[in-house]
Amino acid sequence: MAGYLKVFSSLSRSAAAAFSRHPAVLAPAAQRQTSQQRNYGDKRIQVAQPVVEMDGDEMTRIIWEFIKEKVSGVPRKPAGGELVPNGRGGAWALIRFETLQVAVDARVVPMRVSPPAEFGLKKMWKSPNGTIRNILGGTVFREPIICKNIPRLVPGWTALPLSAAFGRSPRELIKKRRGPTADGSFVFALSLSPQSITGFAHSCFQYAINKKWPLYMSTKNTILKAYDGRFKDIFEDIFQKHYKPEFDKLKIWYEHRLIDDMVAQVLKSSGAFVWACKNYDGDVQSDILAQGFGSLGLMTSVLVCPDGKTIEAEAAHGTVTRHYREHQKGRPTSTNPIASIFAWTRGLEHRGKLDGNPDLIKFSQTLERVCVETVESGTMTKDLAGCIHGLSNVKLNEHYVNTTDFLDAIKTNLEKALGK
């Protein structure tokens, strides 16, 4: 049942801000002269509409290629050309994204970690993730991926997983204070429009209704009275005007809490609620949730735009630089690819929903189930084995396998699942 995706344009991003355009056409098997043959059944999924692919850096780029080679069989036809955010290329990319409504995204390395020269860039660009969020708007929703045999660092999280949501990045203005001060003082300002907060609020309330979970919004309005107070006021106003009756009907609730109080609440809660955070809070707290459920590699991440139809599915973790350095030395690694696989499946499932393509939806859901079942059967990467046995105790091919072997196991299990 492996389908082919006719992709007219695929985007690759190099370093923290440069996009590299990689047009690619995923043609039917008969037209693939050099592509590896797949045997996922005798029926191919016809996908009428394209998706936009945004490649990553370092180990996520390597994992991205492994996934396409071993799981999806996607051929690659790269072409040159660097696309810079907010430039002509960046505008083209975002127009394609908005038009096609579905994008899948690997992760890029932040320029504060690696110098531009390492990626062949001339300067340090702004974050492409921040650029996309600021232009398209929308809200990022993240949920842990649950594997029954992976112990939870917070054993009280026994209910359905928590979901962290956070809005678009504020515009930052950092300037040195002018004057005779010799202590290096500076001014740090955040700018965010009420419209952005409004869109963030609507997305969170609608998501909570869809999940039938209560919603908590956390800020530090006792300190940032004006900035955080605006979040609190807008959320409360929108809730009272638009969502309270539906919440009451579902017997769920909305509540604002201070961020420090909310962190304590999360640790002692059993789960099953939506947590709305400001951008930086959400970025940190979603990683805590992922690790609490086992690993940063077990976290889904989807940017949902205000229209409710346009999404960008991504891996929530970073570029795994330490593993990439090992890969550069020719050494095999045991890097968890599950979050990157789920970026593909969430994007393809949404493509299927938009196009009314049940076969594509079934394929995506099957691949997700196979990933979890593979781990639950005992085949896993080192990070997950460490959760069970302790990192100092795990041994290769006894407790865990390398990345390629793990993907081979997923491929084998996927072929069996699709052949049923």
Where in the chain are the domains? Answer: 1-140+297-420, 152-293
Q: How does pLDDT run across 378-402, given as a tens digit for each residue?
A: 999 999 999 999 999 999 999 999 9
Q: How does pLDDT run across 200-257, given as a tens digit for each residue?
A: 899 889 889 988 999 999 999 999 898 899 999 999 999 999 999 999 999 999 999 9
Task: Name the E strands within 201-298.
Answer: 215-219, 254-258, 274-277
Q: What is the CB neighbour count within 10 angstroms for residue 295?
A: 25
Q: Regarding beta strands 11-14 and 4-5, do their DSSP bridges make them parallel or antiparallel, or are they unpaired? A: unpaired
User: Mean pLDDT highest for which of 97-101, 149-153, 276-280, 289-293?
Assistant: 149-153
User: Is 1-140+297-420 in CATH node 3.40.718.10?
Assistant: yes
pLDDT band at 9 (very low <50, low <70, confident <90, very high): very low
With a CB cutoff of 8 Å and minimum separation 6, the contacts of 229 are: 219, 221
Q: What is the CB neighbour count within 10 angstroms for residue 376?
A: 14
- What single DSSP character describes residue 396? B
CATH topology of domain 152-293: Isopropylmalate Dehydrogenase (3.40.718)
Annotated binding residues for Mn(2+), written as ranges, equal: 260, 283
Annotated binding residues, written as ranges, equal: 260, 283
Which tokens go with 364? Answer: 């995506």
The helix/strand/coil state of 314 is strand
Sheet of 215-219, strands arranged across: 82-83, 18-21, 11-14, 52-55, 102-105, 311-315, 299-304, 139-144, 163-166, 274-277, 215-219, 254-258
Query: Is 146 buried (19+), middle (13-18) or exposed (0-12) by CB count in 10 A?
Result: middle
> Could you check whether 1-140+297-420 and 152-293 share the same CATH topology?
yes
Return the C-alpha torsion angle 105, 103, 14, 136, nearest 10: -110
By the 8 A CB rule, do 199 and 306 touch? Answer: yes
Between 8 and 345, the more confident residue is: 345
